[in-house]
Structure 1
Amino acid sequence: MKKLSIVLLAFVALVGFNACSSDDDVVFIAQPDPEGISFVNTFSPEYVLTSSTAENTVERFVWNEINLDVPTNINYDVLASASEEMSDPALLGSTAGTNLAVKVKQFMTFATNELGLDKDPTTEAPNSGTMYVQVVATAGTAGEMIHASEVHSINIVIPEDTGDEEVELPKIYMVGNFQAAGGYGKDWTPQDGVPLAASGEGKTDFEGFVYINAESPEFKFLPTNTVWDGDYGDAGTEAGGFTGSLVQEGEVNAGTPDGTGGYYLVKVNTDALTYSLTKVDFGVIGNATPTAWDSDTDMQYNPETKLWTVTMDLTQQEAPDNGLKFRANDAWDIEFGDNDADGTLDLKGANIGVPESGNFTITMDLSNPRNYTYSLNKN
């Protein structure tokens, strides 16, 4: 894994620090906390890594934007280290934005190379350990000034390899005029396509949740996220129309059923050559919530983090008879629970228990198709 050596500049009078950039020939002054960089994630207590989910996003690191006294280019590096002092850190990724998705395979590489973790039960190597992460900002084109966030510890586990791990789910990719505004990348770019996953190996029933943030949506579906070969479009004659039928020859750009944008559950079957879109808004319901089972408490979607969140008071409830669930559109057609109490959402699953009463920030992540997760974080 690529190594990155960094030098952290000293804070001055608890207000920040400054340095002179040879590129811009101005002095940049970092503002004091809470305007400095800070993670806003609700991290999981434990990250279980398996080779079958290597291409899945294990965590989307999210932080606030650093506040400088003059406009300049800002770049953020997400670093990982085996020590809390962040010695000899590895680079997980860089971005000019304020969030970065990291895949399971990146955590696994770090865990194996830097922590010495092993999933072979016949060895004496441990299969669990702690990695430390930090986000560092550099200002100016030369990146001469560095501002660092707090160091956060992450507990990771590589389970024993029993030989019966599931294979990675097949995927197709949705591209269109919504990608940039939806927070996915560049419009009509296969490499930034939004993945939809099938239910198993050899299956063609792809699904995923997509934020189609466009007034007049148009899109297509691709077998890969590298090229346009074999793209699927609508079988109609008008671009942006919706017939629910797909073709690969003579197709037009597909659209939503009512021609408007929103957050959608997208389903595609490349064998039956059909597709559907259901516009959804999510809420939390249950006798752990103030309105019990009578009505939902609405959640809000953040396109930057790809998360649905709500902060609310909850009462202690024991699953599976009591607790809470997530559901769409104030109805029970699309609703999620948790059958194994493992933080993974199951369609029509069991109630989710609340361990103690208090004020909680509830988060739901539907960005990984068919690998939907949630967290309850007491404030």
Structure 2
Amino acid sequence: MKKYIKKLALLCTILFLGASCTNDAVLTTLQEVSFSGKVEASSSTIVLTADSTNDPVVVFSWPEVVYPVQAPVTYALQFDIPSAILGTTAWNNAIRVEVGEDALSKSLLGTDLNKIALALGLQSDIAGEIVVRVESNLDRRIYSEPITLTVTPYVKTVVFGAIYMPGSYQDFNIDTAAALDAISSGIYQGYVSFPDSKGLGFKFNTERNWNQFYGADANGNLQKMSDTDFQIATAGSYQMTVNLNTLKWTASPYSWGIVGDATHEPTRDDANYGWNHSSKMTYNHQLKTWKFTGVLRAGNLKFRLNDSWTINYGAKNNDEGIMYLDNAGAHYIGEAGTYEITFTINDIDPANNGYPPTGTYTVTKI
């Protein structure tokens, strides 16, 4: 009899604790939470142009949402058109922009708002309406009242053509010189690697011949038919930009690299050395592909730009040969040895076009 009484008491205790937990959850969920004020935009009528691409064009701000749970609140913006925020499918196809934890404002560049407006179906060079609301999330999602913006998007004119960059890096052979593609009227961009074993001089040619070319003037700017070579500062890989309108050029250090525990063993001072230091790749300007050749350990690798995690690509698996922007995955090297790694990406004019969602790669044991 005592045994059954003990079992009954234990069962009652479990039921009581379960009911208490359930009641607490219900009380938390049912407590009212809402935005205490309106979402505000720094401008409600915005005309976008190519000149505003890299400029902040609107700032959204909103009041803090107070939840009964003491923890960071995550905020996001949702964009849609007025006809799509009604009925059972309201906001289902909205474009969502993450803002972050406990952030109460978000600024958008012209390029970002332009992409959103065009993706929502607004016509270029015609004013149209989009609606914006703020999402807050902690133990549930709460939405602000929407506000309406009048936005005039634009479509960037597609520019074709290229100029060519013969130089010491490829023995000034115009037939194999790197092509710099047009990114705007009179402006060209591309990538070149200058090896340590070659010189640092180069010129710009408008055709694959020497009928018309640009060399350096006394200040290092472009001058037609000048015999003086331009000079890069040091060996390495660069993003080259040439403006024939202003007769100026720039060379920005620019290099993709592989990173991961497959690239380097831990050191005494850094147990994650391979993840903290990129192994640089060089650019094949004829194939428009980045390449690494060297010894790898068994382990993982990814690709990142300029030895930083700001722009990085990871693989979802070892089989499809595709790297995905900001993906947490990596390619696994199963056996140590000497490998050739290639990475191909359409990264022309990333300042205006952004970086593509994917790139392709190969891993070959040699």
TM range (shorter): 0.3 to 0.5
**Larger relative strand fraction:** 2
Provide the TM-score with structure 2 as the length reference: 0.38
| TM-score of the pair, normalised by structure 1 | 0.37
Larger radius of gyration: 2
